[in-house]
Structure 1
Amino acid sequence: MAHLTITHTHQDGTRLTGSQKKDGVYEIVRRNGFTWRCRQGIHIRPSRDLDAKTLIINRAARALRDAGHEVTIEIDNTPRPTEIVEAERQERAEDRAKRFAERAGNADAAGLEAARSITDGIPFGQPILVDHYSAGRHRRDLSRADNHRGKALELWNKGEHLADRARGAVAHQKHRENPRTTMRRIEKLEADTRRYQRELGGYERNFRNGNGDIAFVETHEPAISRRRDDLQRWIADADEQITYWRTQLAAHEESGAFVPWARQHFVKGDQVRHHGFGDWYEVTRVNTKSVSVTGSSWGWPRTIAWDKVAGRRRDGMQWDTPNGEPWPVELAGKIARWRSLERDLAGNDSSTEALFKRGRIELARNIALGLDMHASDAEAAACLEGVTDAATDRKVKAAFVDVYDRLAAGETAAEVTASYEPIELAAAWRMPDREPVRRTAVKSFFIRDRDDIIAVQPGDLIVGFYDRGYGKDHLMRGFCGPVAAVSEVNDRRESGEFVSITLTGGQERTFKLPLWFAVHPAGTWDKETPPAAASAVDVAEVSKAEPVETVSVTASTDPEPQPSAADNPVEHWTAIGGANDDDCGDPWGPLLAELRMLADQPG
């Protein structure tokens, strides 16, 4: 029988040593609270930086002794400094996130490569020759390739799981270091300290009856012996943790990153914003650790603790932080409305009302920024990329809401554009006001030697890509912006050839070949060169390009009154500017073109 040792320290936790493979020890302790990991061996989880769980340890030791093993127990409950504990915790979290990310990236590569190595020896479209001697080997190869693909899929799912765990490790550490979490942790440690001190000195607990009279008194004597030693150690450890976390909170406050709200910041009649709900409530009383508020229609919340306070309103002004600059409540209301409109814009509601609303939101944004009415989300993001200060950001969002309100009130896009002065912002790039040239995604094998066909290159400005539909080519504007990189052609055999294009903004998309793009060549768009200054090659490309139909939804310039949605929904949708989709540009373009064609036919 083995000689086993169960040791416990705050640095390593509770671990069992002396066991060897297949000696039956793990099967015994597994039923008594222990587990096994390759990096830690047999241990209790969690036990690091905690006092020893003597109940579990003693129970496991008895079971091992009953099985004939010799067991020695060594326990050291001396706590470590909080600074060292938190530093090691952060290091473990970063190591865990990095390890999971690496494993997730390499999870499915081997299986797919093995499947391709098998099928590479089989000509594309080759059937199984049933009466040939190679039929058995052909079936086995296909079965092996299928198995490899199945394993690759399982590994891909495992990679997704590991990636989620990596993100979880980072999010957990970020939440632990959040100042609001720190405030709640300090409050809990102070409550624990009071409880330990009360038990250390002894206390009485009164039980009252329905009339409020004392019916019974429960007396607790002062702690003695081992319990007294434990309480004194816990009090010292809690005081040390409180000191550490208060220092961290003071550092946040000194840097201005987070300043906690306190009692002196509020008076009765103020409005307070709840950090979790985002709603505003009227303050009815200011307490030591919270404010009492008028609850919602269902009467909740009644109090808001300081760590849940996210703003104050008084005399028509709003403060987001105690040391922040006040700004008008009316402007703050517009910012809150635009955030709600952004959520509606990102929604998936396909009802007619939701589609019209999303069209108005996009049109309001484009008009306020001075863009074309059917400009894509990428063009708007390029204009907003340089907005870094809070004042400009609030001004821009308030302008979005003002334009949206005018469109929602019934004004047409042409009327709003004629009377509205756009906001001037330094855009990262702007789409030139001229016709783009047509370029292929990549020069494949069949057109590699043709000098008159040019492929998309880094530095080009993509306007969109052409999609075949309804017998014509339609320009889809959802993927646009300056090109950062173009990958090599990825031959996926029976699936076809693919190429990945990465934009400077970080967007990456994989396209199936062949595919043509509408682009402004490098060097002709960064300073918005007029059409006369375009190069001879670009002019030649424009002249050689096939005529295509560019479907875009623009505002009506007809001064006549616009029909309502009930009279002509197609024209009403056109009047408010349509909608752009993140992936495929304007998905309603081909449908609107077809509806207009049918509307022009007699009968």
Structure 2
Amino acid sequence: MTRPEPLGTATYHLDDNTLRWTPGARLDPTEYTHVTTAGFRYWRSLDAFVATWTPEREDTLLTYVDVIEHDTDLDDPTGRTERFTSRAAAAERRADNRRETATAITGQIPPGQPILVGHSSEGRHRRALARSDQHMRKALEEHRKAEYWQNRARGSERRARQKTDPGVTQRRIRTLETDLRRIERNLTQYQDLDHLNEAQQAGRTRAERWAAHLTLRLTYEHARLDTLTGGTPTLTAQDFTAGETVLCRGTRSEVIRVGTKKVRVKILDGGAAGMTLLEPPERLQKLPAPT
């Protein structure tokens, strides 16, 4: 599927590994099915179709645009948190106004007054109860909206903390390195073959694209980590030794065992003294050698 002219713009977002496509025009049913089947979902807040990067999804986008631009940081979790918090507060105010209106309406009816069937007040009484019930229903809807936006705000706060936490970046780097080693092992299977058939050639090309993509992401994540740590070398599990005293979550602890990726420590002070924890190295802090 190709178009005579590019349709909209597309970007690859390194910060969250997503492809984002803004068509700039309404898609016809065939185009919509094509992109959603490939894994793209429409994000109304961005007015764009978004999907995690894969070679196939990149190829799908390239049937609509000539080039996919790279953007290193489109994400703004702090600004998003502020917007979501503001929306939650506005919804809560609307809910309060609805409840106050419902209370004011029912307050005009004497407490405990039943509907006097056949009396001249019957119609007013029923209409007042109906209006009050309608306002209470709207108040409940607005309260649910407020809860929704509050949950979105909390999610954005977590995202903001993750972006500034070196430990999160270190764990992401380890995952990417593991994925890259797996892809490189897959590539070695093609080296011993004198001739590749069509399927094997396609498999090798796909693996090479994945390797290049993971290398790009590792370069970006290492640069992010350097920014967060000020270029200070990060510790690995092998930087610790059994019997060493360290700080674990701000508490003096003793290293019991060192694994390939994590370190088991025993808490020495406080109410948790004697408890053992298995921690990643970024949560541990070396103490200066005693003089």
Same structural fold, with TM-score higher than 0.5 when normalized by the shorter chain: yes
Q: 2:81 aligns with which of 63, 82, 97?
A: 97
Work out which of the two has the higher radius of gyration on C-alpha atoms and give 1 or 2: 1
Instruction: Name the aligned partner's letter for residue 249 of structure 1.
Output: L
| 1:139 maps to which of 104, 107, 126 | 126
Residues 52-451 of structure 1: pairs in structure 2 closer than 5 A: 53-54=56-57, 73-74=63-64, 80=70, 84-85=71-72, 87-89=73-75, 91=76, 93-114=77-98, 116-117=100-101, 120=104, 123=108, 125=110, 127=113, 128-202=115-189, 231-254=207-230, 260-261=235-236, 263-266=238-241, 268-270=242-244, 282-283=256-257, 305-307=280-282, 310=284, 321-322=285-286, 324-325=287-288
C-alpha separation in 1, matches of 2:93 and 2:201? 61
Instruction: Tell me the equivalent position of 1:439.
Output: none
Provide the C-alpha distance between the structure 1 equivalents of 2:139 and 2:240, rounded to a whole number of angstroms.
Answer: 59
Q: Distance in 2 between matches of 1:248 and 1:31?
A: 32
Amino acid at match of 1:150: R
How far apart, CA to CA, are the structure 2 residues paired with 1:243 and 1:56? Answer: 23
2: distance between equivalents of 1:243 and 1:260? 18
CA contact (8 A) 1:282 1:293 kept: yes
Distance 1:326 1:226, change over 3 A: same
Relative to structure 1, the CA distance from residue 280 to residue 124 in structure 2 (aligned partners, 3 Å threshold; closer, same or farther) is farther
Aligned length: 263
Distance 1:24 1:117 in 2: 46
The percentage of counterpart residues that share the same residue type is: 25
**TM-score between both structures, scaled by the size of structure 2:** 0.64
Q: Deviations over 1:21-44 (max 9, x none)?
A: xx766985698355444345573x
What is the RMSD of the two structures over their aligned residues, measured on CA atoms?
4.8
Alignment partner for residue 46 of structure 1, among 28, 45, 51?
A: 51
The runs of 5 or more residues in structure 2 that have no matched partner are: 14-18, 267-275
Matches of 1:303 and 1:221, distance apart in 2: 48
| Alignment correspondent of 2:20 | 13
Give the structure with the larger helix fraction: 2
Gaps of 5+ in 1: 59-71, 205-218, 295-300, 311-320, 328-603
Instruction: Work out whether residues 237 and 263 of structure 2, in 8 Å CA contact, stay in contact via their aligned partners in 1.
Output: no
Distance 1:242 1:35, change over 3 A: closer
Q: Please say if residues 98 and 166 of structure 1, whose CA atoms lie closer than 8 Å, have aligned partners that are also in contact.
A: yes
Q: Within 1, Cα distance between the matches of 2:144 and 2:203?
A: 50
* Residues 221 and 303 of structure 1: CA distance in aligned 2, closer, same or farther (over 3 Å): farther
Residues 219-245 of structure 1 show CA distances to partners (whole Å, capped at 9, x for unaligned) of 667988665555555444433433343
Give the 5 Å matches for 1:560-579.
none
**One-letter amino acid matched to 2:152:** R
8-17 or 140-149, larger mean C-alpha shift: 8-17
CA distance in 2, matches of 1:142, 1:238: 63
Alignment CA distance shift 1:229-1:135 (3 Å) = same
Aligned partners of 2:46 and 2:201: how far apart in 1? 34
CA shift for structure 1 position 148: 0.9
**How far apart are 1:170 and its partner, in Å?**
1.4
